[in-house]
């Protein structure tokens, strides 16, 4: 399953990525600290699973979803 991670906190992104890497069925195809960049990538190649931070400075995870 293709996964993207969007969080403005590097430590949180790393934590989610490490959890995903332990699961053989998950493949992280994108990791973003900037929601706008994530939105562009999602439009080009929508992931099957998206981990979103709800509270980010430039755009909320809910707005991105």
For residue 20, the model assigns a pLDDT of 97
| Backbone torsions φ then ψ of 34, nearest 5 degrees | -115, 115
Distance spanning both ends of the chain, measured CA to CA? 18
Range 28-52 burial, b when 16+ CB lie within 10 A, else e: bebbbbebeebeebbeeeebeebbb
For residue 14, the model assigns a pLDDT of 98
Domain interval for residue 58: 2-64
What residue spans of the chain are helical by DSSP H? 10-21, 35-44, 61-64
For residue 65, the model assigns a pLDDT of 73
User: pLDDT (tens digit, 9 = 90+) per residue, 12-65?
Assistant: 999 999 999 999 999 999 999 999 999 999 999 999 999 998 888 777 777 777
Rg of the chain over Cα atoms, rounded to whole angstroms, equals 11
What is the total count of domains within the chain? 1
CATH number of the domain residue 42 falls in? 3.40.50.2300
Mean pLDDT score, 5-12: 95
């Amino acid at each position: 399953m293709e996964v993207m991670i969007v969080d403005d906190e590097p430590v949180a992104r790393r934590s989610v990525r490490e959890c995903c890497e332990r699961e053989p069925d998950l493949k992280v195809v994108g990791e973003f600290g900037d929601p706008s960049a994530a939105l562009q990538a999602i439009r080009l190649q929508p992931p099957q699973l998206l981990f979103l931070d709800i509270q980010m400075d430039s755009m909320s995870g809910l707005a991105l979803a």
